[in-house]
Structure 1
């Protein structure tokens, strides 16, 4: 079973592992490894890109995704790849891309927590943590008449980033523990025995399989750009400069 190294270390840029399976995918080749530092696209976060070095030759990873066989590192087709099973390889991710995606993902969680504190009827329902179109959606358990301004949220962001920063931790909880903490999310999350949780210090943890930074001080430049209400949902768009 593949070990997901990105769960334990967002900042790990290079790792040596072994190729365990190779298969063709249209005009590309999918390489599967014992371990991976490449995050696959999903959970509202883009995948990691980079290279895999085999026998001294660097092969560009132009996509990473989860398949039935595990995490596929999709490479440009090359005859040598089909005979690479059992070989060691060096994985290297595009670290600036990884860290931007991790910041945007953590920022989405932080914004959800800010809104939850302002109105306890709100719970996170969706996150889209893409650089050019980052937003979160919150859903109401009961109708609220609160109006939120971007200026107010940005003031709170400034406090949590510059004045009173918070650590970010990850750990696992069982399903019943998650449901007791996040009853509104029970219909949205996979019904697994154990779930990975992300906790920003001082806020209620959230189930999440994405990559995250270690402290909110890394979110300098975060700002809300738009807040829009539609029926029982509030959409919050944001960016990091």
Structure 2
């Protein structure tokens, strides 16, 4: 099992760890990691591993067998031996932009109140697919409302509930095609705003900024028709 340090602190950029396994594909599995693995539309983190004067660039991070997380080198090279103590460092600018976009997509799911059928995150933009027969009529209103939520500088926090409690509250789940992660029977909820009257509350396993003001100015991008009942909506970071 890999301890998910990014879950304890999404702002942790560096940490030491020990190698506990190698994957057949050439990945490095650590006992604890700050690297987020690809999932929920959010890309896996990149960065660097260092040990004994050796530097290994990491291209991406993936979920591995069981509860392990594998760091994938940018190019083939000798992996650190099992038991080796390594230092891991994130490509922080890329991760932080993923966090900004991810939180912005949660806000988009509030402003466009339809079921979500898919989504993706990059360092510059993100998109959600909605179960929505017609494109929204007022693009300016969507962009204005998104940026109003950003300007509120609302706090982002987390809490946990059991899988059974989530089943009793199906309205919390906005994604229609992807089930929320249910590790060890517990579901992580990401809340935007006050606990008593949140702007948004939904299951999510990804990393997020601490406050909406950190997202920065948002720009509404293309709105594409992807099927009879599906519209794809893009948002972009302005800087």
Q: Deviations over 1:194-233 (max 9, x none)?
A: 1112111123411111111111101212121133454333
Mean Cα deviation higher: 200-209 or 88-97: 200-209
| Structure-2 residue corresponding to 1:86 | 83
Which of 181, 185, 194 does residue 186 from structure 2 map onto?
194
Alignment of 1:20-35 (within 5 A): 20-25=20-25, 29-35=26-32
Counterparts of 2:161 and 2:176, CA distance in 1: 14
| Structure-2 residue corresponding to 1:43 | 40
Mean Cα deviation higher: 222-231 or 84-93: 222-231
Counterparts of 2:51 and 2:137, CA distance in 1: 52
| Structure-1 residue corresponding to 2:219 | 223
| Structure-2 residue corresponding to 1:156 | 145
Counterparts of 1:168 and 1:176, CA distance in 2: 24
| Structure-1 residue corresponding to 2:159 | 171
* Count of matched residue pairs: 227
| Structure-2 residue corresponding to 1:208 | 204
Contact 1:159 1:165 in 2 (8 A): no
TM-score, normalised with respect to structure 1: 0.84
Task: Note closer, same or farther for the CA distance 1:135–1:73 as it changes in structure 2 (3 Å cut).
Answer: same
3-state SS of 1:68 partner: coil
C-alpha RMSD of the superposition: 2.3
- Name structure 1 gaps, 5 residues minimum: 117-121
| Structure-2 residue corresponding to 1:119 | none
3-state SS of 1:196 partner: strand
